[in-house]
A and B are shown apart, each in its own frame.
Chain A
Amino acid sequence: MMLEIKNLHARLADGREILKGIDLSVAAGEVHAIMGPNGSGKSTLAAVLAGREGYEITEGSVRYQGRDLLAMAADERAREGVFLAFQYPVEIPGVNNTYFLRAAVNAQRRHRGDPELDAGQFLRLVRATLKLLDIGDDLLQRAVNVGFSGGEKKRNEIFQMAMLEPRLAILDETDSGLDIDALRTVARGVNGLRSPDRAIVMITHYKRLLDYVEPDYVHVLQDGRIIQSGDKDLAAELEQRGYGTFADAMGGDAA
């Protein structure tokens, strides 16, 4: 199993419990969508999987390719093939985007025992990837995300994902606030990554992205738990009925 989450509970430093028992299994080759309203715990789930500090895991386990994911530091998870596309990509003044990405690619290559790419080899890989995604090279010479528009930031996330070729990609609301062109870039990146040995988890508020990237499974997250799972038709149902009435209809204690 690529990712196996069992009864995951997580709380913030102030004691507020955000995840209240998540169960989710993602196999290689699958695309999962996790949908839910604001405050349901979607971004916390993404952050916990990526290894962000500030959350306490009080119960449960997460296994990634059979290993205890929660025992690994954030950078080790990334080198092992976990990629988080940030909902709010961080601006880093003074750090050149190309330099940053080369450091990331080479950190991963070192980890795998592959030789590092020199400047020329790296640039060729960059050009090929940009072409594949049909994005311009204007972001390369700027500082990481500094002064990027919302769409440019998300494109940059997808570009990084394509360069790093993760085994497990987690997209945290990558589709929100995007115009149609940027959304297509995102979809191209995600669809390009789909393969039998990779898995993708898309966290989203809206069904829109799912029109471009068809998921194998859709889960509904509500108040820190997955209250319903199904196929792509579940997304359509959600969109139609809204999260509130959907949760009511589930009749659970979730709402």
Chain B
Amino acid sequence: MNAVVDFPVKPEARGYLARFVPDDSEPGWLAARRQQAMTRFAELGFPNRKSESWRYLDLQPLENQPLLPSPAAPRADTAALSERLAHLSLPEAASRLVLVDGRFAPELSTVEPRSGVWFGSTAHAMRERPDLVRAAVEGIEGDEAHPFAALNTAFFSDGFVLDIAPGVTLDRPLEIVHLGAGISESSFHTRSVVMLGEGSRAGIIETYAGEGRYWRNDLVGVLLGQRAELTRTVLVEESAAAVHLAQIEARLGEGARFTGFVLLLNGQRVRHEANIRMGEGAKCVINGAYVVTGSDEANIVTVVDHTAPGGQTSELIKGVAAGRGHGAFQGRMIVREHAQKTDAHQLSRNLIIGQRAVIDTKPELEIYADDVKCSHGASVGDLDETALFYLQARGIPADEARRMLIDGFLREAVDTIEDIAKRTHLLRRLAGRLAELEG
């Protein structure tokens, strides 16, 4: 721990570097990778706000009061966590995998085995299927440039692995719940991977919630084979003092389809980044909605890279900022020279409640091919006063009327979720959040 280091170390990285202890029980390839990543993070430090993709998120609270990775998992009160799960979880999930403070909690999980499907914790996969974990770590580039991805590689304790054999279809969604138990102030680094074989289909829903002050640093790798289809729904309801930085790195094979939905409802600093690389004829849908209030900040950052012909992408992001909340959407679409016939559309619609809330929306189109259809649109507006009056003129109190309009506004995005159980669940969570929204 006190070894002299022969590389430059950013001041904010020191505490993390001090916590870094190589684990002799891990395979050599992983130990080497972790070491490399730790060095990288020490060099990079935290991204500063001059960096374009981080300019709308203030990480000062995290820099001033570091949240270091916790070495061991303290066991939380299972009964209390079960009760919390009952509210948070999807009623009809086929299997549920629960991670508490970034580590698999078998007593809260129910995972039904199924042929052609490997679904379990990353730590478990390390023992049983190290090849999958290796793919999750080495198959995903990006931690070279991305400091928190590097930190994730250095410290990830657990996560989940889903591997589906070619041609297998899952009818019901698999659920993954990430809980923060609120026992210690620390950071949870989770690394997960989803690999779908040719022509297979699956849906997952991931929920992030917790209590107390913590930093979640989550990285998910997705590898979709030819014509494989994945639907991933994300619900972020972290504690009001939590920092949530999540990143998904997806590679879509020929004709594959990725449908992502993200609903950001709570957390002091929340950032959801999706980097998607599209194969030939791949389809990508990223829809989402967020609500920020108090002095919270939420960012949705997407980069969709069309590298081959015939890709189709559509994005609809709806944001609501109240109080002194700050929301931002940065949507980058790249269409490479060979990606002819790409069809990519992006729409960002936003609502500002009150005088002090802020929303930034920034589309970026980079097009190098000449035969493509690309469009983007963005709007930021206030609540419709005429509609508000109409509801009030029917006796609905002003607060309730305002909530109905906000709910109606965000519903357009949530309604794009095809699975009725997931959609109903998210609408209910959204309504719960709006009920406590300030005016």
Contacts and interface: CB of A to CB of B under 8 A. Distances in A.
A100 B391 contact: yes
Contacts of B389: 52-53, 74, 90
B395 A75 contact: yes
B114 to A, nearest CB: 37
Interface string A75-109: 10111000110100111111100001101100110
A104 B394 contact: yes
B390 A89 contact: yes
A103 B393 CA distance: 12
Contacts of B390: 86, 89-90, 92, 144
A92 B393 contact: no
B430 to A, nearest CB: 11
B411 interface: yes
Interface centre among A79, A93, A95 (most CB of B within 10 A): A95
Contacts of A94: 407-412
B408 A75 contact: no
B398 interface: yes
Contacts of A144: 390
Nearest to B410: A94
A93 B407 CA distance: 10
Given A92-B387, A94-B411, A103-B400, A74 B393 contact: yes
B394 A78 contact: yes
Contact of A95 (B392, B397, B408): B408
A160 B394 CA distance: 8
Interface residues of B, number: 24
Interface in A3-38: none
Contact of B386 (A50, A79, A90, A143): A90
Contacts of A103: 396, 400, 404
Contacts of B386: 90
Given A100-B404, A143-B408, A73 B395 contact: no
Given A89-B390, A103-B400, A103-B404, A79 B409 contact: no
A183 interface: no
Contact of B395 (A86, A91, A104): A104
Contact of A75 (B384, B387, B392): B392
A129 to B, nearest CB: 15
B380 interface: no
Interface in A39-81: 50-53, 73-75, 77-79
Nearest to B411: A94
Nearest to A95: B408
A79 B395 contact: yes
Given A104-B391, A144-B390, 13 more contacts: A51-B393, A53-B389, A74-B392, A75-B392, A75-B397, A78-B392, A78-B396, A90-B389, A92-B391, A103-B400, A104-B395, A107-B397, A111-B395
Interface of A: 50-53, 73-75, 77-79, 83-84, 86, 89-95, 100-101, 103-104, 107-108, 111, 143-144, 160, 164
Q: Which 8 A-B pairs have the closest CB atoms?
A: A94-B408, A78-B395, A104-B394, A95-B408, A90-B390, A75-B392, A74-B392, A94-B411
28 contacts: A52-B393, A53-B385, A74-B389, A75-B393, A75-B396, A75-B401, A78-B393, A78-B396, A79-B395, A84-B393, A86-B393, A90-B386, A90-B390, A92-B405, A93-B408, A93-B412, A94-B407, A94-B410, A95-B404, A95-B405, A103-B396, A103-B400, A103-B404, A104-B394, A104-B396, A107-B395, A107-B396, A107-B400
